[in-house]
Structure 1
């Protein structure tokens, strides 16, 4: 059913909400996301949305996921669709495929180029901006009756806009006038600004439903990264609230739920907002808690029926029951087949209490979570202001050293300043970087430190956290050969590594046994099983390797073809190796560094 029709038919006195998901990067994550959606569907969203990667980079997976939720589960699905940097004819191909799958809702976006591509290449000259896609669908005799089309809006302003707010609102009105049926906004946290913006667009004659984008804060690091990426205004009171708890993931998550509830209540009361769009990042627990706090769970239409092969409904976990049983024994829990391997079953709903990003469990639906709206993550202002014009390997070394010494706030691989945790091993990171082994990830060894520790603590209070020493860096192939010999001769079974380059597709060098998985961060908390938040194994390394080398491509794309900067960065991408090393002796804080610096290479 079209979302516009569902909104029109919905009781105006009752709220509604939609959930946003992205296609996971791994097959296992994809399978487990379907189970996650089945649990969240018991909260009865009016629809769900599926994102579309930059330049159509997730086309097949986005279509597959949308087909499952719409066709097999009968859950009305909104598919994001970008129009720039896509091959000629791809928009038509996708629209036909979407229509054949019974999907009637499209969110039309301009979109970003995929990593490593030039900016804004109108590969199909019919589509340069979102308004072109809206106009094409709405005016087409072939598609106009088949689709309900929504568009995005930016209450805090678009990050790349060089125009004033009035001009941006004019662009928004042009999209609405072209035929869009509703608006979904970018995430925001300044309710006063949103209400002012909403009144302004209404005064300009924009009357279609506006659905605010709500993202409960998951971790402090992800909050900082996403608000910077999206150009989101953060009220001073939120910054002040987060400052004393930023090191405690559980308190940050609790605050994120409380803040989302407060925002929604104000938007309902002061703005008359009826519907809300939850950006889930493929996580479930915070959204569930928000809706249950509001007493909305299960009160609105929209059901998701499990396909026959998944078994009868009594085998499904509801969101509430999943929370209630999070600390139960394996014997007392029933889940759908394929949710997770034995020993992880009772973590199905709470798998991502502490989002794991690229270092987490590759079976998690949230593994390697991507940025909103298919964004690239590197801005031109950062390239010019912080990284300037590197023309030699030494220039690159100075950029990485500048980040270590807080002279440069970010690198393309580190979107925030160096953490307090990294400062614990700063001399070692500096020594590696001066070798031209540019570090992009690391952690010190930690043996049973309080979970409330302000530097390395995480999770609920009253627990203890552990870490194995870990470092990740780019180096030349000859250095990789030295490292391999050192592991073989001096590792004594304590050292595992993965190494890969740009040219090897789906392959890497490693001494980790096939199927081996290294938990390098874990915690022990009252009333819970041991929590493993950082896991390094082949699948996750390969996924990150591809992304890491695409960052070199993207960085290079900011410089003109044939320039010294581009030649340098593309040469690094083509020739360097990404190396990940773990030392398993977490009781010796110097073990990893002694191995790296004092080994016999002869």
Structure 2
């Protein structure tokens, strides 16, 4: 059924919600996400949406997932579709495949600008903006009536662009005029700003349903990363509430639930909006707790009040009146949020609901439904191109690359294409070793120190609930030459003594290492009262090779920021084609120097 038809049939005063999922990178993660979706389906969402990687990078998995949710589980599915970086015919193929799977709803997105936009010429000139994609679908007789089309809106402004609210609203209206039926907003946390924004949108003559995008905060680090990626405005009250609890993942998660509940209550009481789009990050417990606290998992509100999700006939003063009981978003802090009833585990359907509650590190568990890209809007893997060039400059030699990675370690620059955030305090614990590796020309892109039973409330390495202990095996990953891989292989064989496991891979798919088939190395784990041991970072073959594909694509993305035949592009593409990605784990977590003694042992 078409999404807007379902909204209208749902009733003006009955709350509804939709869930958003992304396709995991691995087959096991995909299968486990299906099980997770089946559990969440019992909450009766009005629809689910499936994201689409930039340039169709997750095309097959997105279509497969949409087919399962639509055809096998009977969940009306909204398939995201981007238009930039799409090769000729990919849009047609995607629409045909969606129709064949019974999908009737498309979220038409422009996607992020291609890398190196200054020199970019569209592969398919028909698709430069989201408006083009909407108009194109509406122009095709076989698809125009098949699909209900949604578009994105950005209450806090579109990331990567100078914020011109008036121009952005005009562009949003152009998408609606081109044939869009509904709007889903980017995530936001400033309710005051959203309520003012929606008045301006309605005043501009946009009357289609607008569904607010709500993302419960899962971890402090993911909150920082996603709000930066999306250019989200964060009220000072939220920052103040998170600051004293940012090292306690359970308290952060609890606050995320409370904040989402408070936001949605304001949207219903002050904005008259009774429908929200919940970004799940493929996790289930928080969104279920939100809905339970709202009492939206049963019968909706008994009061017959207008649902302003759908604007019927806006009056002249409707856009200027502020409710007398309006509460400033500055007042939404930890102290006066509604308490979450019950224990921390409330809302858990079974153990599978919470087994990956505390994702930590790049790898995670390849079986996790949350193992994959959590960028629900198709943003850039390496950051905005202008920021990358501003930070990393114009590397033309291998020494230039070494200097970039050293500058990052010394905090002279705040990001690299491989590390979108400043160097973590944890990395400072092993900084001399990372410097030594980098000066050798082994450019480090991931690492962690060995930790033996640190408090879970430790401000540097702690995670999870308080009153626990966390452990880490030292590991490091870097790019190096093939002859260096040969040396590492000999050293592990002759001096590893069973303590060292390593992987190495090249861009063309050559793979080496000494990890037994099917072995799984838990390199981060925690012990907490009343819980089984939580293993949050696991390095094994499938997760490493999944990350390998992304890692080498980052070199390609970085290279594409520069003109064809330029020295910068030729250097970065040569590095991509010739270097190997290496990951080394030392299992002696009780000796903080064990990994580095092995890596720098030159006596062989």
Q: Specify if TM > 0.5.
A: yes
- Structure 1, residues 481-529: CA drift from partner, whole Å, max 9, x if none? 111111111111000001111111xx52110111111000111111111
Q: Is the 8 A contact 1:499 1:508 kept in 2?
A: yes
Q: Which residue of 2 aligns with 1:371?
A: 375
In structure 2, how many angstroms separate the alpha carbons of the residues matched to 1:577 and 1:534?
Answer: 22
Q: Which moved more, 1:368-377 or 1:186-195?
A: 368-377
Equivalent position to 1:474, from 475, 479, 504: 479
Quote how far apart the aligned CAs of 1:542 are: 0.1
Equivalent position to 1:423, from 421, 428, 432: 428
Q: Which residue of 1 aligns with 2:207?
A: 207
Q: Is the 8 A contact 1:494 1:585 kept in 2?
A: yes
Quote how far apart the aligned CAs of 1:94 are: 2.0
In structure 1, how many angstroms separate the alpha carbons of the residues matched to 2:114 and 2:553?
Answer: 9
Quote how far apart the aligned CAs of 1:118 are: 9.2
In structure 1, how many angstroms separate the alpha carbons of the residues matched to 2:117 and 2:26?
Answer: 23
Q: Which residue of 2 aligns with 1:304?
A: none
Residue 322 to residue 66, structure 1, CA distance change in 2 (3 Å): farther
Check if 1:398 corresponds to 2:400: no
1:38-117 map, 5 Å:
38-112=38-112
In structure 2, how many angstroms separate the alpha carbons of the residues matched to 1:372 and 1:518?
Answer: 29
Equivalent position to 2:444, from 430, 439, 452: 439
Structure 2-normalised TM-score?
A: 0.90
Q: Which residue of 1 aligns with 2:520?
A: 517
Q: Which moved more, 1:402-411 or 1:243-252?
A: 243-252
- Structure 1, residues 180-214: CA drift from partner, whole Å, max 9, x if none? 11100011111111111111111100111110111
- For structure 1, the 5+ residue unaligned runs are 302-319, 327-334, 336-345
Quote how far apart the aligned CAs of 1:370 are: 3.1
Quote how far apart the aligned CAs of 1:323 are: 5.0
Q: Which residue of 1 aligns with 2:156?
A: 156
Residue 119 to residue 268, structure 1, CA distance change in 2 (3 Å): farther
Q: Which moved more, 1:97-106 or 1:64-73?
A: 97-106
In structure 1, how many angstroms separate the alpha carbons of the residues matched to 2:360 and 2:258?
Answer: 22
Could you say what secondary structure the match of 2:205 adopts?
coil
Residue 530 to residue 580, structure 1, CA distance change in 2 (3 Å): same
Q: Is the 8 A contact 2:83 2:128 kept in 1?
A: yes
Check if 1:533 corresponds to 2:536: yes
Could you say what secondary structure the match of 1:232 adopts?
coil
> How well do the aligned residues superpose, as a CA RMSD in angstroms?
2.1
In structure 2, how many angstroms separate the alpha carbons of the residues matched to 1:577 and 1:100?
Answer: 41
Q: Is the 8 A contact 1:138 1:179 kept in 2?
A: yes
Check if 1:277 corresponds to 2:277: yes
Residue 375 to residue 169, structure 1, CA distance change in 2 (3 Å): same
Q: Which residue of 2 aligns with 1:147?
A: 147
Q: Which residue of 2 aligns with 1:330?
A: none
Could you say what secondary structure the match of 2:491 adopts?
helix
- Structure 1, residues 295-320: CA drift from partner, whole Å, max 9, x if none? 1124469xxxxxxxxxxxxxxxxxx9
In structure 2, how many angstroms separate the alpha carbons of the residues matched to 1:413 and 1:128?
Answer: 27
Q: Is the 8 A contact 2:254 2:344 kept in 1?
A: no
Quote how far apart the aligned CAs of 1:121 are: 4.7
Could you say what secondary structure the match of 1:374 adopts?
coil
Check if 1:187 corresponds to 2:173: no
Q: Which residue of 2 aligns with 1:312?
A: none
Residue 356 to residue 487, structure 1, CA distance change in 2 (3 Å): same
Residue 29 to residue 439, structure 1, CA distance change in 2 (3 Å): same
- For structure 2, the 5+ residue unaligned runs are 302-341
Q: Which residue of 2 aligns with 1:579?
A: 582
In structure 2, how many angstroms separate the alpha carbons of the residues matched to 1:184 and 1:419?
Answer: 34
Q: Is the 8 A contact 2:285 2:347 kept in 1?
A: no
Residue 28 to residue 119, structure 1, CA distance change in 2 (3 Å): farther
Residue 357 to residue 370, structure 1, CA distance change in 2 (3 Å): farther
- Structure 1, residues 6-25: CA drift from partner, whole Å, max 9, x if none? 11112211211100011111
Q: Is the 8 A contact 1:153 1:184 kept in 2?
A: yes
1:428-507 map, 5 Å:
428-504=433-509, 507=510
Quote how far apart the aligned CAs of 1:422 are: 1.1
Q: Is the 8 A contact 1:448 1:465 kept in 2?
A: yes
Could you say what secondary structure the match of 2:471 adopts?
strand
Q: Which residue of 1 aligns with 2:327?
A: none
Q: Which moved more, 1:484-493 or 1:113-122?
A: 113-122
Quote how far apart the aligned CAs of 1:239 are: 1.7
Quote how far apart the aligned CAs of 1:585 are: 0.6
Structure 1-normalised TM-score?
A: 0.90
Residue 385 to residue 55, structure 1, CA distance change in 2 (3 Å): same
Residue 163 to residue 595, structure 1, CA distance change in 2 (3 Å): closer
Quote how far apart the aligned CAs of 1:100 are: 2.2
- How many residue pairs get aligned? The number is 563
Could you say what secondary structure the match of 2:374 adopts?
coil
In structure 2, how many angstroms separate the alpha carbons of the residues matched to 1:37 and 1:437?
Answer: 42
Q: Is the 8 A contact 1:218 1:355 kept in 2?
A: no
Q: Which residue of 2 aligns with 1:354?
A: 358
Q: Which residue of 2 aligns with 1:549?
A: 552
Quote how far apart the aligned CAs of 1:460 are: 1.1
Q: Which residue of 2 aligns with 1:173?
A: 173
Q: Is the 8 A contact 1:257 1:289 kept in 2?
A: yes
Quote how far apart the aligned CAs of 1:142 are: 2.2
Could you say what secondary structure the match of 2:515 adopts?
coil
Could you say what secondary structure the match of 2:108 adopts?
strand
Could you say what secondary structure the match of 1:348 adopts?
helix
- Structure 1, residues 243-263: CA drift from partner, whole Å, max 9, x if none? 222222112111111111111
In structure 2, how many angstroms separate the alpha carbons of the residues matched to 1:443 and 1:357?
Answer: 9
In structure 1, how many angstroms separate the alpha carbons of the residues matched to 2:122 and 2:344?
Answer: 46
Q: Is the 8 A contact 1:151 1:184 kept in 2?
A: yes
Q: Is the 8 A contact 1:36 1:284 kept in 2?
A: yes
Residue 433 to residue 528, structure 1, CA distance change in 2 (3 Å): same
Q: Is the 8 A contact 2:115 2:561 kept in 1?
A: no
Quote how far apart the aligned CAs of 1:173 are: 0.2
Check if 1:381 corresponds to 2:423: no
Q: Is the 8 A contact 1:468 1:521 kept in 2?
A: yes
- Structure 1, residues 323-381: CA drift from partner, whole Å, max 9, x if none? 5697xxxxxxxx9xxxxxxxxxx641112211246311101110133312111132122
1:27-46 map, 5 Å:
27-46=27-46
Q: Is the 8 A contact 2:116 2:562 kept in 1?
A: no
Quote how far apart the aligned CAs of 1:565 are: 0.9
In structure 2, how many angstroms separate the alpha carbons of the residues matched to 1:296 and 1:235?
Answer: 26
